[in-house]
């Protein structure tokens, strides 16, 4: 059985996975969202919960914000709050899918007033990046059409490029724009950014600091996501991941829950392409916890990513290269399967203890009393969720 070495642990120690602020609010399906005791009521409480995940795992050093869900009066105060809790403010996510004006599009809209409004929202997000020290502006667009003939698809692409050019021109220094894609929903005939190729075409026309965001739940069934990872790394255009799991569509379930082997394969390509612990490739979760507790859900998620990273690091590259060169199909596959089936959990538990972390972060959180405290303290007010 393969064993993790000191070099492997040195690599794992550098790993960081950004948490989404919205994962700590009430969210779930379009049919019913179930509230839970202790749910944050504002961005400050969301960040406190995210910091609790990092305290138990040392895997979650930053928190992504969603605007306007996480708007505050003073972002410098929010930034200091995060830093006092040992985390940083990360990616700023725009939102052009909950305003009445955006029913038929935002950055692609034919009405210049509405398109200007959407562009200005993104410019406001860049202002927030200036205040929080955030590097990345992430854009996901719920734009497209439901019926053939409803829209001029080419004109929408042209307007999207023009909108993105205006937003990109506002970025400064090391700030980046990452464009997310999704093959369907809420538009069902065509989506304006449905795949990695469209996202790549749009960002390639902008410049070096415009990249693609890959959400692992945003693909058609059977899509070889690790191929896309390889290609975007090869092209130097993979800017970030949104990790989650899907059984059917954009399910936003805990990463690695539906198909751990897929997560293993994705991370294997990340390592192969030089994307692991590469500051140019951001790891982030994008999940909703509707029936499970939110903080344990995030703890389990980052541990799943860490575990599959450890397994992928165990792949015997020399043996794999030799089998591939010899066209030994089964031997090459066996190299991967040997690493994937290695149970690295006991080694990871011992390593955590050696670093002063709990061997079992899930059990440690359950015993910490934190959930009971926030349930008692966060009484009154409006619980955060989609839209707050």
Question: How far apart are the C-alpha atoms of 360 and 219, rounded to whole Å?
Answer: 33
> pLDDT tens digits for 61-90?
999 999 999 999 999 999 999 999 999 999
Do the beta carbons of residue 56 and residue 81 sit within 8 Å?
no
Residues with Cβ within 8 Å of residue 5, at least 6 apart in sequence? none
> pLDDT tens digits for 20-67?
999 999 987 768 889 999 999 999 999 999 999 999 999 999 999 999
Give the percent of the chain with pLDDT over 90. 96
* Second-level CATH architecture of 14-313+368-377: Alpha-Beta Barrel (3.20)
> pLDDT tens digits for 318-365?
999 999 999 999 999 999 999 999 999 999 999 999 999 999 999 999
Which of 117, 73, 63 lies closest to 95 in space, CA to CA? Answer: 117
Residues with Cβ within 8 Å of residue 52, at least 6 apart in sequence? 295, 365, 368, 370
| pLDDT above 60 (res 1) | no
pLDDT for 385: 87
Cα dihedral 371→373→379→383 (10° resolution) = -30
Cα dihedral 231→4→350→358 (10° resolution) = -10
Our separate counts of H helices and E strands in the chain read 14, 10
| pLDDT above 70 (res 388) | no
pLDDT for 31: 80
Record the pTM. Answer: 0.96
Question: How far apart are the C-alpha atoms of 204 and 195, rounded to whole Å?
Answer: 14
Question: How far apart are the C-alpha atoms of 257 and 2, rounded to whole Å?
Answer: 24
| pLDDT above 80 (res 231) | yes
Give the percent of the chain with pLDDT over 70. 99
Q: Kindly state the average pLDDT of the residues 299-314.
A: 98
> pLDDT tens digits for 270-302?
999 999 999 999 999 999 999 999 999 999 999
Do the beta carbons of residue 156 and residue 192 sit within 8 Å?
yes
Question: How far apart are the C-alpha atoms of 159 and 171, rounded to whole Å?
Answer: 19
Q: Which residues of 88-127 are buried (b: 16+ CB within 10 A; e: fewer)?
A: bbbbbbbbbeeeeebeebbbbbeeeebbebbbebbeebbe
pLDDT for 386: 76
Q: Sign of the CA dihedral 116, 117, 123, 127?
A: positive
Q: Kindly state the average pLDDT of the residues 298-317.
A: 98
pLDDT for 387: 64
Residues with Cβ within 8 Å of residue 46, at least 6 apart in sequence? 21, 22, 24, 25, 40, 63, 70, 384
């Amino acid at each position: 059985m393969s064993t993790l070495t000191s070099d492997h642990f040195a690599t794992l120690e550098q790993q960081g996975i950004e948490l989404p602020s919205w994962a700590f609010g009430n969210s779930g399906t379009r049919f019913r969202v179930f509230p839970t005791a202790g749910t944050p009521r504002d961005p400050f409480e969301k960040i406190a919960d995210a910091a609790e995940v990092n305290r138990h795992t040392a895997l979650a050093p930053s928190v992504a914000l969603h605007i306007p869900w996480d708007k505050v009066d003073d972002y410098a105060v929010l930034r200091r709050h995060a830093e006092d809790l040992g985390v940083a403010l990360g990616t700023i996510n725009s939102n052009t899918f909950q305003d009445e004006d955006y029913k038929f599009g935002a950055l692609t809209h034919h009405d210049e007033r509405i398109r200007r409004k959407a562009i200005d929202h993104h410019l406001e997000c860049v202002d927030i990046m200036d205040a929080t020290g955030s590097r990345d502006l992430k854009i996901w667009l719920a734009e497209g059409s439901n019926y053939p003939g409803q829209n001029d698809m080419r004109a929408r692409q042209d307007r999207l490029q023009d909108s993105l050019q205006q937003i990109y021109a506002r970025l400064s220094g090391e700030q980046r724009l990452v464009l997310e894609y999704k093959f369907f929903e809420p538009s069902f005939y065509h989506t304006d950014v449905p795949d990695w190729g469209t996202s790549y075409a749009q960002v390639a026309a902008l410049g070096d600091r415009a990249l693609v965001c890959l959400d692992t739940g945003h693909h058609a069934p059977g899509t070889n996501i690790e191929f896309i990872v390889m290609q975007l790394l090869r092209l130097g255009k993979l800017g970030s991941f949104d990790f989650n799991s899907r059984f059917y569509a954009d399910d936003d379930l805990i990463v690695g829950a539906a198909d751990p082997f897929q997560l293993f394969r994705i991370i294997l390509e990340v390592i192969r392409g030089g994307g692991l612990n590469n500051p140019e490739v951001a790891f982030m979760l994008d999940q909703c916890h509707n029936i499970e507790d939110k903080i344990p859900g995030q703890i389990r998620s980052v541990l799943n990513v860490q575990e599959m990273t450890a397994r992928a690091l165990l792949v015997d590259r020399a043996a794999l290269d030799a089998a591939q060169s010899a066209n030994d199909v089964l031997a090459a596959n066996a190299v991967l399967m040997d690493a994937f089936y290695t149970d690295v959990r006991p080694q990871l538990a011992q390593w955590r203890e050696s670093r002063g972390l709990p061997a079992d972060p899930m059990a440690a959180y359950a015993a910490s009393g934190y959930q009971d405290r926030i349930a008692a303290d966060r009484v009154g007010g409006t619980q955060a969720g989609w839209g707050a």
